[in-house]
A and B are shown apart, each in its own frame.
Chain A
Amino acid sequence: MNNTAVKQETLLEVKGLTKYFPIQAGVFHKTVGHVKAVDDVSFTVKRGKTMGLVGESGCGKSTTGRVLLRLLEPTAGEVSFAGNDVFKADKRQLQRLRTQMQIIFQDPYSSLNPRLPVREIVGEAMLQHGIASGRRDMNERVIEVIGKCGLFPEQASRYPHQFSGGQRQRICIARALAVNPEFVVCDEAVSALDVSIQSQIINLLKDMQDEMGLTYLFISHDLSVVKFISDDVGVMYLGQIVEYGGKQQIFENPAHPYTEALLSAAPSFDPKARNNKKRIIMEGDVPSPANPPPGCRFHTRCPFAKDMCKEIVPENKELEPGHFVMCHKAHGLL
């Protein structure tokens, strides 16, 4: 077996993923429009790698993650996970996919049922999917998986309110890993934690990735975190991935003005770099996803926008191998 070839295998392929939420008004809940939360998004995630998804709040990152797992029904598009069509899976196939694709949520407070002890929270899915053969087996497996996540065996009988935020996030991770998934969506998994705890949780996620060969879709608005953990990065703006590429391509050679602006906004610890850096300040707010601007969606805030940008939607072109950009300027058309 060629090891590098295995590593480059595509685990998740997303094509034209679209999710519109209807806007209903009036007494009869007539649909008067759609919030275009995710609009024609395509990307691939390689097995054992981490794809970072960054963007401002409301740009559709979380929706993307949830639609992938069918926590929300998609409007259009195709997701293929290890050769299975996720959106066409019937109930039984979906149950099987549930053990292969997992999610870790942002808020470690609302994502744990306050009435159940850790043992039940983590072990429930093991019983549901027949991973554990009985309650005793479940108990042993729970202790093993929470141990991996940095909790003590005696903490299995405690309730969520008896833990700190960081510990709770460890429980959430243990719950997701309890079913031995291959792919985990980390939906702002560290955003609610303070910085010192963030690094512990990120390191835990990395260790688990090495140990279990996990593949992550790491959704975050925090560039430094994404830079640390990701192999590939997608930058989302208003429901679209405007730039997608390897970590180095995105962070060192950004081609889309939005990516540049995002990077320039991130604080730098290096004073020299700080002085050299040109801060790009974007004007205005993110337009409403219910009524996105025509042409390039970023033209209302782009410092380089020309007339062309207001009319023609830019193509998603490959600049260099693996580096895709949706921008007329980057394509040399301006």
Chain B
Amino acid sequence: MDTVKTKKVRDVRELSYWGSVFYRLRKNKMAMVSIVVLALIVLACVLVPMLSPYSYFVTNTDNKQMPPSVEHPLGTDDLGRDLLTRFFYAGRISLGIALIVVVLECIVGVIMGGVAGYYGGLVDAAIMRLCEMFMSFPFLMFVITVRALFGNSLVVLVAVLVLLTWPSVARIVRGQILALREQEYMQACEALGISDFRRIFRHLLPNVLAYVIVYATLGMASVILTETALSFLGLGVAPPTPTWGTLIQEARSRIVLVQRWWYWIPPGLGISVSVMCFNLIGDGLRDALDPKMKR
């Protein structure tokens, strides 16, 4: 017999697919630390209206440009607003935008890429040409034009980012589906008369989902950076709504940089720490989602 009896311990082999993914992820220390750190940041951002006695937009000129103190742990800005409060409100917007953009781009990307890969032929060609069109837009030119035409609301910013990023997801998904379609287990499905619905939702999507989740996690990081860059250039969210990018933008004069570190170090840290966390989680997920990784 080539069957080996393994009846020792209830190990990772006994777990369901997602159970084993979580099991492997838990063994990745960097990813787990990242998840905890990120969870704390998100929690603080969510709870800031309850925790902070200050408003993020009411100005108080008597209190401006204060260095860190007990009342204002990170000091106040040019208009006398508490910087710690603004930091967490900014986190809400920065992380919130990233989340919405990533979720939307993945939905659009999975649908478009899935349709292109599954049906092939003319549909595929049409969708891929559309992707190439969007990917060849000059990013900044496009953003500036759209902002000039439609104003600088959050909705417009999200729409622009989704519009410019979904093609990458669509390409990943299409490529995967094309590869999966040729696998013999898809032919076995056909020979067994498995319905299209089951084939798509039980065989194709779960195999694609792993790639999409990893892409989405890494995508969070890149959207945070993009939003920061746009806000810094004044193309992001309009004041008084703070984002980490606009906080840094407010600190860009030489005097502030040299003399008031509390203006720009916290948002800078917020950006780099959360981006790093997302990248580490993404790496951890990539390993954890591979069922061939035993440990």
A interface residues with partner B (beta carbon < 8 Å): 66, 69, 71, 94-95, 98-99, 101-103, 105-107, 110-117, 120-121, 124-125, 128-129, 150-152, 154-155, 157-159, 161-162, 164, 166-167, 170, 172, 175, 179, 197, 200
Contact-size category for B: 20 to 34
Residues of A within 8 A of B193 (CB): 94-95, 98-99, 125, 128-129
| Cβ contact within 8 Å between B194 and A113 | no
**Cα–Cα, bound, A52→B272 (Å):** 65
Known contacts A115-B207, A125-B192; is A197 also within 8 Å of B2 by CB? yes
B202 at interface by CB-CB < 8 Å: yes
| Cβ contact within 8 Å between A155 and B188 | no
* Given A159-B17, A159-B291, 4 further pairs, Cβ under 8 A: A95-B193, A114-B291, A115-B207, A200-B2
**Cα–Cα, bound, A157→B194 (Å):** 21
Residues of B within 8 A of A152 (CB): 3, 5
**Cα–Cα, bound, A154→B11 (Å):** 13
Closest Cβ of chain A: how far from B182's Cβ, in Å?
9
Closest Cβ of chain A: how far from B86's Cβ, in Å?
45
Closest Cβ of chain B: how far from A80's Cβ, in Å?
19
Residues of A within 8 A of B191 (CB): 69, 71, 98, 101-103
Chain A residue at minimum C-beta to C-beta distance from B180:
A113
Residues of B within 8 A of A175 (CB): 188, 192
**For residues 1 through 47 of chain B, which have their beta carbon under 8 Å from a beta carbon of chain A?**
1-3, 5, 7, 13-14, 16-17
| Cβ contact within 8 Å between A128 and B198 | yes
| Cβ contact within 8 Å between A167 and B2 | yes
Known contacts A115-B17, A152-B5; is A128 also within 8 Å of B194 by CB? yes
Q: Mark B174-186, 1 if CB is under 8 A from A, else 0.
A: 0000000001110
B interface residues with partner A (beta carbon < 8 Å): 1-3, 5, 7, 13-14, 16-17, 183-185, 187-188, 190-195, 198, 202-203, 206-207, 291-292
Chain A residue at minimum C-beta to C-beta distance from B205:
A115
Residues of B within 8 A of A116 (CB): 17, 202-203
| Cβ contact within 8 Å between B1 and A105 | no
Residues of A within 8 A of B16 (CB): 117
Partner of A150 from B1, B202, B206, B292 at Cβ < 8 Å:
B1
| Cβ contact within 8 Å between B13 and A158 | yes
Partner of B192 from A107, A112, A179, A197 at Cβ < 8 Å:
A179
Partner of A111 from B3, B188, B207 at Cβ < 8 Å:
B188
| Cβ contact within 8 Å between A110 and B192 | no
| Cβ contact within 8 Å between B192 and A124 | yes
Chain A residue at minimum C-beta to C-beta distance from B12:
A162
| Cβ contact within 8 Å between A107 and B184 | yes
**Cα–Cα, bound, A179→B188 (Å):** 13
| Cβ contact within 8 Å between A112 and B185 | yes
Chain B residue at minimum C-beta to C-beta distance from A172:
B188
**Cα–Cα, bound, A102→B188 (Å):** 9
Known contacts A113-B203, A128-B195, A155-B3; is A71 also within 8 Å of B291 by CB? no
| Cβ contact within 8 Å between A128 and B192 | yes
Residues of B within 8 A of A172 (CB): 188
Known contacts A114-B291, A125-B192, A129-B193; is A105 also within 8 Å of B187 by CB? yes
Closest Cβ of chain A: how far from B75's Cβ, in Å?
52
| Cβ contact within 8 Å between A124 and B202 | yes
**Cα–Cα, bound, A111→B193 (Å):** 15
Partner of B194 from A105, A106, A125 at Cβ < 8 Å:
A125
Known contacts A71-B191, A128-B198; is A113 also within 8 Å of B14 by CB? no
Residues of B within 8 A of A154 (CB): 7
| 5 closest Cβ pairs, A-B complex | A98-B193, A111-B184, A125-B192, A166-B2, A105-B184
Residues of A within 8 A of B187 (CB): 66, 71, 103, 105, 111
Residues of B within 8 A of A107 (CB): 184
Chain B residue at minimum C-beta to C-beta distance from A151:
B3
Q: List 6 A-B contacts (CB under 8 A).
A: A98-B193, A101-B191, A103-B188, A105-B188, A117-B17, A158-B13
Chain A residue at minimum C-beta to C-beta distance from B1:
A150
**Cα–Cα, bound, A269→B14 (Å):** 46
**Cα–Cα, bound, A44→B203 (Å):** 35
Chain A residue at minimum C-beta to C-beta distance from B14:
A157
